[in-house]
Amino acid sequence: MAKYNFDTEYDLVVVGGGGSGKSAALTAAQAGLSVVILEKMAETGGSSIYAEGTCAFESSEQKERKVPKDAGKHFPSREEGFRRYTEYSHHRANPDVVRMHVDNTAETIDIMKSLGIVYTDVTIYAYDQPLELYTFHRPDGLGERVQEVLLRACVNAGVDVFTSTPAKKILTDGGAVVGVQALDKDGNVMTIGCKALILASGGYGNNPDLVQKYSWLHRAAYDTYKCVPTENTGDGLKMALETGADTDNIGPVMIIPCARGKTLTSHVSGAGSQPVLWVNKTGRRFASEHVAMSFADAGNTIAKQPQATIYAIIDADTIKHLMEDGSDIGLGDFIEYHLKLTRLQAELDQDVADGIAWKGGSIEELGRNIGLDPAVFAATVAEYNEACAKNYDPLFFKPAQFLRPVKKAPFYAINMAGSVLVSDGGIRVNGDLQVTDREYKPIPGLYAVGNDASGLFGDTYNLDCPGTANGFAHTSGRVAARHAVKTIKGL
């Protein structure tokens, strides 16, 4: 007697329609498998819509360019990439997963090009960050365009795509995956049979309960600000654990600074992300603000402050500088390097009126308006201005080029928060992206890819290899699908 009565059956079920899920589905469909994508949102794309570039090593784009446009720089080898991921993670990364990534990202670029994607540049994310490797392949139209092209390719290859259809439970028989239960658009239970299942649900970064339980951000899990409208709530992680999977390096989360109530393209948020004076809720500095040069490090720094909140303090001169001369550092394509923040004053005025930013005619007044101890805050600003006058920061050794004083009224405070974009680790996998149980043995028929899979990071997203999350998503999806194809076909 059959254990399950399936409403329909496929060779492969992919849970999640972002970059990793669509790459997996396309690969399997092109190899002749019947494939369905189960996407819980009304549209596919996930976090990959907001991706900018794709990390790759020894790609055709790098080889055609020979060297980066910046003098004295070079495109990294796979060996350099392997070493960088391993060392950046303090050797917590899974070497099999790292090897899978660096060996297969070049093919990811070629596949995207074959689908019609044009790469306009191969560069770095932060142009004044000396440690970044030149792995950032920037596609024309960025992540949104890539996801549109991938969706069309999946549909043309015969992939069925069910949106508004969340997967709820993995079905097994004798320890092997045989299907999944999902809810259709009307909330009815669907039981779908399969020979393999790939979890590509985007991690758990938008689930504060899981962030609190698993990540180092547990004290501020409910204080972070959601700056992109994604719903990565740990669906894959929870289903995998129920199936007997284990976790590995589950704590990494990708955090980026953002002004509360704003988007990443806001000029107010862009100003607050500059290496200007930062204070926390005690009214004191807490770091060298040049950490802003790496959004991952800046996000970590802000997120560990009380309530994951800081205040970026700027004066009239700094506003003029940012509007007329441009930003001192870039935030990828959200705030381009040296972009003139022409909307800054108008945005600030509106934010002050809305009560999400503050203004003062004096430093003491600004401190009171924020809710800080005005005496402590004034002492902090005075000490900082003295460091600016001496061109030397004895407290945090902030580079002199970023020592810009806060002296000319009116003064403003931007409410900056740590924003969790995605989680960067979770379900333990091997180099073929097979999910492994507590004994490190693969669970037959079960795979995890993209931000559902662990193995590439230590405790922090590696911005030294920009475009990693997106590159890993597409690459891991394809590699997992190929293994599934070989297994299903008995090759």
Taking the CB of residue 379, how many other CB atoms lie within 10 A of it? 14
Q: Please state, in angstroms and rounded to a whole number, the distance separating the CA atoms of residues 162 and 145.
A: 21
Q: At residue 128, what are phi and psi to the nearest 5 degrees? A: -110, 20
Distance CA 463, CA 265 (A): 19
**CA neighbor of 38 nearest in space, from 180, 188, 174, 144:** 180
Question: What six digits make up the tokens of 313?
Answer: 């303090």
DSSP annotation of 461: -
List Cβ neighbours of 280 (8 Å cut-off, separation of 6 or more): 286, 305, 306, 309, 310, 311
Q: Which pLDDT value is given to residue 435?
A: 98
Tokens coding 444: 């037959």
DSSP one-letter string for 149-210: HHHHHHHHTT-EEE-S--EEEEEEETTEEEEEEEE-TTS-EEEEE-SEEEE-S--STT-HHH
137-140 long-range contacts (CB < 8 A, ≥24 apart) are 137/53, 137/54, 137/55, 137/56, 137/59, 137/61, 137/109, 137/467, 137/471, 138/52, 138/53, 138/333, 139/53, 139/54, 139/112
Torsion of CA 78, 83, 86, 89, to 10 degrees: -110
Structure tokens at 105: 């990202």
Structure tokens at 380: 């902090």
Q: How many helices (H) and strands (E) does the chain have?
A: 14, 20
- Encoded tokens for 325: 């001369």
**φ, ψ dihedrals at 421, nearest 5°:** -80, -55
Cis before residue 130, ω within 30 degrees of 0? no
- The pLDDT, as a whole number, for residue 2 is 65
Best CA proximity match to 485, nearest among 160, 26, 5, 7: 26
What is the DSSP pairing of strand 35-38 with strand 160-162?
Answer: parallel
Q: Tell me, what's the pLDDT at 1?
A: 39
**Amino acid at position 407, single letter:** K
Domains 8-204+230-251+424-489 and 253-420 share a fold: no
Under a CB-based contact definition with an 8 Å cutoff, are residues 52 and 138 in contact? yes
Say which CATH topology domain 253-420 has: Flavocytochrome C3; Chain A, domain 1 (3.90.700)
Confidence at residue 128, expressed as pLDDT on a 0 to 100 scale = 67
Query: Which pLDDT does position 250 carry in this prediction?
Result: 83
pTM assigned to the model: 0.94
**Distance of alpha carbon 35 from alpha carbon 205, whole angstroms:** 27
Beta pairing partners, 245: 437
Tens digit of pLDDT per residue, the chain (491 long)?
368 999 999 999 999 999 999 999 999 999 999 999 999 999 999 999 999 999 999 999 999 999 999 889 999 999 999 999 999 999 999 999 999 999 999 999 999 999 999 999 999 987 767 789 999 999 999 999 999 999 999 999 999 999 999 999 999 999 999 999 999 999 999 999 999 999 999 999 999 999 999 888 888 899 998 888 888 999 999 999 999 999 988 878 999 999 999 999 999 999 999 999 999 999 999 999 999 998 999 999 999 999 999 999 999 999 999 999 999 988 877 888 889 999 999 999 999 999 999 999 999 999 999 999 999 999 999 999 999 999 999 999 999 999 999 999 999 999 999 999 899 888 999 999 999 999 999 999 999 999 999 999 998 999 899 999 999 999 999 999 999 999 999 97
Q: What is the DSSP letter of 333?
A: B
- The CA-to-CA distance between both ends of the chain, in Å, stands at 29
Token pair listed for 372: 């800080």
CA atoms within 13 A on the CB side of 313: 34
- Distance set, CA 490 to CA 10, 35, 214, 483 (Å): 17, 18, 38, 10
String of DSSP letters for 403-435: -----SSSEEEEEEEEEEEEE--EE-B-TT-EE
Q: How far apart are CA 252 and CA 303, in angstroms?
A: 13
Task: Please name the residue that has the structure tokens 């990071």.
Answer: 457
Assign a CATH topology to domain 8-204+230-251+424-489.
FAD/NAD(P)-binding domain (3.50.50)
CA 103 to chain centre: 21
Domain ranges of the chain: 8-204+230-251+424-489, 253-420
Spatial distance between the Cα atoms of 171 and 162, rounded to a whole number of angstroms: 19
